[in-house]
Amino acid sequence: MSIQQDHLYRVRQLMFSTSLILVCWLGMMCLHELGHVAGALLTGGSIQKVVLHPLAISRTDVRPNPSPSVVVWAGPLIGSILPLCIWLVCPRIGQIRPVLQFFAGFCLIANGAYIAVGSAEGIGDAGEMLATGTPLWVMLLFGLISGSCGFLLWHRLGSLQTYWRHPEAITQRMMVCMFVMLISILTFELLMSSDQ
C-alpha cells in the first residue's frame, strides 16, 4: 500500500469515525426525547416544547404532566431499548449491522451514565426521578445494567486497535453514507429549533 493510498484510507476512516460519533450523540438525544414525548402522550400530558439542537442539551417540557415519573423514565428506557431492538431486527448482511450495534451500545452507555451519574447531583432527569420517588438504588442499578450491556455490545464488535490498524476497511460508500446521515440529523434538529 502506498503512502498516498494509506493517507486516503486514514482520512476516510477519520471522517467516518467523527461522523459516527456525532450521529450517535445526536441520534441518542432524539430517541431519548422521543421516549419523553411518548411517555407524555400515553399518560395524557401536554407537550409544550421539545428542545433538539446540535449545540444544546435536549429536553422536553410537559405541562400539565399527570404522570411525571412515567414521562421521566420513558426517556432513558425508550432511548436505550429502541436502538437495541432496531439492531436486533436488522438483517445480518452488509455494513449497517455493526454500525447499529455501535449505536445501540452508545445509547445504552449514555443513558445509563446520565441516570447513574446524575443521581449523585440530582441533575436533569435524575433530579426529576428523585423528586418523584424513585429510589437511588434503582437509578444506580439502571445505570449499571444499561452501561454494562452497552460495553458488552461494543466489546463484541472487536478491538479498537484492530479498527485503527485497518483504515482500508472503511469504504468510500460507508464514509459518505455516515456523513449524509450526520447532515440529515443536523438539518432535522436545526429545522426543529427554528420552529420554536
Tens-digit pLDDT profile for residues 28-86: 999 999 999 999 999 999 999 999 988 888 999 999 999 999 999 999 999 999 999 99
Q: Is the pLDDT of residue 196 over 60?
A: no
Of 41, 48, 51, which is closest to residue 78 (Cα–Cα)?
Answer: 41
Amino acid present at 60: T
CB atoms within 10 A of CB 144: 12
What is the number of residues in the chain?
196
Count of domains forming the chain = 1
> Which of 87, 140, 123, 106 has its CA nearest to residue 32?
106
* pLDDT at res. 21: 97
Q: Which residue has the higher pLDDT, 4 or 26?
A: 26
pLDDT band for position 195 (50/70/90)?
low
CA-to-CA distance for 136 and 63, rounded, in angstroms? Answer: 25
Q: What predicted TM-score, i.e. pTM, was given to this entire model?
A: 0.92
Band (pLDDT 50/70/90 cuts) for residue 120 is confident
Domain that holds residue 51: 3-194
Q: What value does the mean pLDDT take over residues 11-27? A: 96
Amino acid at 12: R
* DSSP codes joined into one string, 60-73: EEESS-S-HHHHHH
Q: How confident is the model at residue 93 (pLDDT cuts 50, 70, 90)?
A: confident
